Each structure stands twice: as structure tokens, then as C-alpha cells.
Chain A
Amino acid sequence: MVSAGTSSAFAQKEPVCAAPSILTRAGFQLPLLAKSLEANAPTTILVINSATVAKKITPKPGAEKDAMPRSFPSYIEEILRTRYPKGDITVETHNQPRATAETVVDALPAILEKTKPALMIWQTGTYDAILGADNAMFADAVGTGIGYAHAAGADVIIVSPQYSPRTSFAFDVAPYNNTLRWAARAREVPFFDRYDVMRFWEQEGIFDFDSTRPSPSLFEDVHRCIGRLLVGMIADGVDTRTIGSR
């Protein structure tokens, strides 16, 4: 499709990173993170992922980061540091491959205790859709997880699974996406609907997700865009005049 052609032809040019504002606005506030940023205290942002990152053969230790494709948490750190230079922000990623929400929730209190984040970005639902987890139990697990984070003094942003047109005949992500939307709304936390954002990109031709030969920079372009939009949502959630309302 056109966009894949352009992004490989103009390798240096980044694709248009737009998404409808309804998907990118926070909707709810992030007061705890805002407080931490205001106070210029060292702020940790915890990203919980279920990615299985394919490790390439590790060359010298310093170059390890270059060998692996950069996924969105690393972009978040970079962009946030630029935006809030005095915020002393670190982004920690916790990968739990092939984990459903329930599995993650079991390990969550320990992780929260260890990292003490001001914000937890929780990407979940991928393996729940793949493994066909029960929707009600999934909703409960997500709610419990959000509760743990709030109890540990962290705001939460929920991130939905990816939109994958090629495998949608095998895994039906949409019901889990809806459940996530409702769970987030019930707990009043922002919901970053990656699924709908990617669907929008596919429809508008910004990215081509089902071509048999994806452009080599597709992974990084998509993750960079996701990172950027997530930071936009964070900024939107932090920009509040009623800090301490919780």
C-alpha cells in the first residue's frame, strides 16, 4: 500500500503519527504522576508488557540495546525526558511473556513494591485473547490490578492489545478490548486503545499491517508512534488543575 512504499522510499521521513482525538485524550486525570512531576522528585514509570522480545545474538554489552528492536517503552522514556527535563524520569519495563492478566496480577504487588512507580502503564489482553480466557475473570483481574496500583500510590494507564488483521481469524481480540475499555472506565483510569488506533492507521493507509513483506522499519515506526501518542495521553492526564483530588 502507499504508506509502506513511501516510508521505505523516504527512509528518513517518519510517517504521520495522527490518531483521532477521542482515542488519544486521557479522559481521566493522573494526579499522582502530576504530583510527582511537579515536585521534581525522581519519577519512575512502570510498563508492564507481555512481549516476547526476540533477542538477537548479543554483541558487546553496550550495543545490546541496538541489537533488539526498540519497542514503545523505550520511546516513552526518550520523549518524556525531553518534555519534562526536570522530572528525572525513568521508565522501567517488566516483561512477562505469554502472561494473561490473572498471571500478571499475582506478581503485581511484588513488582510495585520493588519499583515504586508514580505511573503504571499496563499493556494486557494479548494472551487473554490468544488463550481464550474467560472475559469475566479477565475483567476482574484487570480491576484487581488497577486496585493494587492505586494502593501502591501509582496512577494507571491501560493499553490494549495490537490490531492484527492477519491473525484475527484465529484470535478474536475485540471482546477483550471492550472489556478493557469498560474496566478502565469503571476504575476511572485512562485507556489507550492501541487496537483502535492501529485499526485507524490501517484504514487510513498510514501503516500497512497485513502485507506479506512488511517494510523493515515498520516495527520501529509503529512503536515510535505509539510511544509518542502515549506520551501525549500522559501529558493530557497530567495537565490538571485539581491535583490532589484523589
Chain B
Amino acid sequence: MSSAPAASADTRDRATRGDTPSGPTATSGREVSSGRDLRLDLFRGLALWFIFLNHIPNNVANWITNRNFGFSDATEVFVFISGYTAAMVYGRQIDTNGLLVTSARIMRRAWQLYVAFIFLFVIYLAEISYVVGSFSNPLYAEEMGALQFLAEPDVALVQALMLRFRPANMDVLPLYIVLLATFPPILWLLKKWPDATLLVSVLAWAAAGYWGFNLQGYPDDRMWFFNPFAWQVLFVFGGWCGLGGSDRLNGLVHSPLVLAVSALYLVVSLLVVVSWWYPPLENIVPQPIADIIYPISKTDLSPLRLLHFLALAVVVVKLIPVDLPVLHSKLLYPMILCGQNSLEVFCFGVFLSFAAHFVLNEITGTLAMQLLLSVAGIILMISLSALLSWYARVEREIAARKYG
């Protein structure tokens, strides 16, 4: 899953411009993206679409996603922007409501995600049971045996409740739950000593990559697919930016040298990635370099991926300034909408990808069906987000009338 251009950096402008952010932050505790920087929502929405498309195995539509054009992918975008908006929203709430209340709200959010995870897990278990029950093919004896083992409900369920049993392609959710659940103290530290906290976070990432410690999963002690010790660096960096750090980086981000280096890195990364599937470019990476860099670890957030994401952010911030008119147009509105209710849309997207996979296997797996399901899934995600936004607006109006 390649990363969509990440919206980052200089969106703190809105605070300095004196605009009061729109949308409630207090009542619902949800991360309503306030403020005028629509790029955050835009790219988070795009990342969610890409994650959905990439989660449908054997889907021709996942060729358009950004994992095929560079080292990083939609996950980096999602984690970074989530850290950014979480710090923005909850950081403000710490000032107005105090640390304890804000922490409670964050934990409640994490709890909602946990419940969503359990729900998705049940769906997943249902699909496993269905496949085990209906499909018998001696060619796949190993795979079916493993599925039967996974479907042992007594063990699998308990492990899922402990977030240790995470089915393939659902790994972002436990990562997000852990990042959010541990966020209150980190947010407080980020507000007090932002640079020191960021430094510690980077050191933790480096240590996790170098020494390889990770959380344990299930079955058989497999490690978490997304190493939280490594991926937290993007979340914390996002939070650091969201609390004003991005302003300080403005000079760096807009310097022509940095822009040139970033663009160059993007091009190199594109060529390398293309060489993986385009035979004429096969030998573009010299052997000694290949020995050092491969495999590019997604689990531990390899430096190449992190750098690629940062380079992408620099280029995007330059190409798409915060006040670009098209951001307010109807064309991009669906994407922005999905970014605004990102967590619900993400969970729904995982559910839809299961459904799509089921349809592709049971009914027909033709090219036309893959495209149809991809488009239908995205339309459904947009619809859900529109529904949620409408509902939130209605609730606000009712509350305003009540207390206004």
C-alpha cells in the first residue's frame, strides 16, 4: 500500500489567523477535523480508500494505490494524520477541560475502536468457518488445516480479546488502539516538552528496528505485524506537528534544497518499486545496495519508508498549498468527507473488503466484478461518512437549540 501524498506541516496557520475552528470538540469527543485545513481530511480519506482497495486480495484496482509508486503506503499517511488530528483536538481539550477529562475521552475512543475490532474479528471468524465448512481441496491441505486451527473458538476468541490474534489485513486497528490508549501521557509530555518527547520517540523507533523487540501475537508467538514501538514514531511526530511543531519546520520544508532532495528521493524510490514488477528495469538496483536495503520492513517501519513518507509530505505541502481552491470544490468533497469520520470509515472499509473478497470467490472473480466491487465499496464508504456527518450536525443543532 503506497502512501498517498501526506498532508502535514503548515496547517497551524489557521490558529494564527485567528479563525475559530468549526465543529464541536467538546461534546462528542470524536476527532472532528476542525479548522480549515482540508488537506488533512483529504489525504486521510484518500488513504482510507487505498487501504480498502489494498485489502481486497487479487484486486486489479489496487494497482492505482500508492504502494506501487514508492516505499511507503497509505498506512504511514493514516497514522501520521491521525496523530496530528488527535494532538490538535485533544491538545485543545486539555487546555479547556483539563488532563483527566481529556484522558477519559481518549480512552473512551480507544474503547470504541476495541469494540469495533471485536466485531470485525467475529465477521472474520465467520468467514473462516464458512470456508472451512464449504471448501475441501486436497491441494490446499496445509492452508485448510491452519484455518481449522485458527477457528478453534475457545482459544482464538480469548486471544482476540487480548489483541494477540490479529487476522491478516486487520493489523492497523490493534496498532491504532494501542497508540490511542497510550496517548494521554504522551500528549501531556508533548505539550510540556515537545522536542524531548519527539527525540525519545525517535530513539525508541531506532531501538525497535535495530534490536527487533515487538509485541507478541498469536498463534505461535508471531510478532505484531505493525510493531507499535516502531510505528509510534509517526504518531508522535504527527502529534508534535499538530501542536505547532510544523510551524517551526516551515523554513526547512519550504527550502528549495530540501524540496529538490525530496523529489529526487521520490523518483529513485519510484524506479526501485517499478523494478520489482517491470522486468526490463529488473537490475536497476545494484547488488551491494540491494543486500543492504532488502527486505524493506513494513513491520518495523524501515528508515527508507519513513524517509519516503517525509519526502512525499514535503513535496505535497509544496504542490498543494492550504488555500488551493479545488480543495473546496464538490469534486474532492467525498474524499474529505471520508477523512472526517476516518475511524468509522476504516472499520467499515475492512468489513467491506471481507465482503468483496467473499463475493469475488463465491460468485465471480472477473475483472469487471473486481472493478465493480471496488467502486461500490468506495461509494458505500462515502455514504456512511455522509450519514455520520449529517447525524453529527443534527445532534449539534438539537443541542444548540436546547442550550442556546
How long is the Cα–Cα vector from A52 to B131 in the complex, in angstroms?
Answer: 19
B365 part of interface (Cβ distance < 8 Å): yes
How long is the Cα–Cα vector from A178 to B275 in the complex, in angstroms?
Answer: 12
Contact with B along A18-52 (1 / 0, CB 8 A): 00001000000000000000000000000000111
A171 part of interface (Cβ distance < 8 Å): yes
B167 part of interface (Cβ distance < 8 Å): yes
Segment among A58-66, A130-138, A229-237 that sits at the interface with chain B? A130-138
- Does A165 lie within 8 Å of B365, measured CB to CB? yes
Segment among A77-85, A107-115, A146-154, A207-215 that sits at the interface with chain B? A207-215
Contact with B along A153-171 (1 / 0, CB 8 A): 0000000001011111111
- Does B128 lie within 8 Å of A136, measured CB to CB? no
Which residues on A sit within 8 Å (CB–CB) of B141? 51-54
With A165-B57, A170-B150, A186-B290: A135-B139 Cβ-Cβ less than 8 Å: no
- Does A130 lie within 8 Å of B137, measured CB to CB? no
In the assembled complex, the CB of A96 is this many whole angstroms from the nearest CB of chain B, namely 12
Contact with A along B119-135 (1 / 0, CB 8 A): 00000100110010011
How long is the Cα–Cα vector from A222 to B134 in the complex, in angstroms?
Answer: 21
In the assembled complex, the CB of A60 is this many whole angstroms from the nearest CB of chain B, namely 23
Q: How many A-B residue pairs have CB under 8 A?
A: 120
A92 part of interface (Cβ distance < 8 Å): no
- Does A127 lie within 8 Å of B291, measured CB to CB? no
Query: Could you tell me how many residues of chain A have their Cβ less than 8 Å away from some Cβ of chain B?
Result: 43
With CB as the reference atom, state the residue of chain B lying closest to A218. Answer: B139
With A162-B139, A186-B287: A169-B354 Cβ-Cβ less than 8 Å: yes
With CB as the reference atom, state the residue of chain A lying closest to B294. Answer: A182
How long is the Cα–Cα vector from A1 to B298 in the complex, in angstroms?
Answer: 37
- Does A52 lie within 8 Å of B223, measured CB to CB? no
Which residues on A sit within 8 Å (CB–CB) of B154? none
Q: CB < 8 Å: which of B145, B225, B298, B357 contacts A132?
A: B225
In the assembled complex, the CB of B182 is this many whole angstroms from the nearest CB of chain A, namely 23
Q: CB < 8 Å: which of A135, A171, A178 contacts B299?
A: A135
How long is the Cα–Cα vector from A175 to B295 in the complex, in angstroms?
Answer: 10
With A130-B143, A169-B357: A135-B219 Cβ-Cβ less than 8 Å: no
Specify which of A52, A131, A166, A222 lies most central, judged by the most chain B CB atoms within 10 Å of its CB: A166
New A-B contacts (20) at CB < 8 Å, excluding given A165-B365, A186-B291: A54-B141, A131-B220, A131-B222, A132-B168, A132-B223, A136-B212, A162-B139, A166-B135, A167-B131, A167-B140, A168-B57, A169-B57, A169-B168, A170-B128, A171-B146, A172-B57, A172-B169, A178-B276, A186-B294, A219-B137
Residues of B within 8 A of A (CB): 57-58, 124, 127-128, 131, 134-147, 150, 167-169, 212, 214, 217, 219-220, 222-223, 225, 276, 279, 287, 290-291, 294-295, 297-300, 354, 357, 361, 365
Task: Identify 12 residue pairs between A and B in the complex whose beta-carbon atoms are under 8 Å apart, listed by A's number.
Answer: A131-B220, A132-B217, A132-B222, A132-B223, A134-B212, A164-B140, A164-B143, A165-B361, A166-B140, A169-B127, A214-B139, A218-B139
Residues of A within 8 A of B (CB): 22, 50-54, 69, 97-98, 126-127, 130-136, 139, 162, 164-172, 175, 178-179, 182, 185-186, 199, 209-210, 212, 214, 218-219, 222
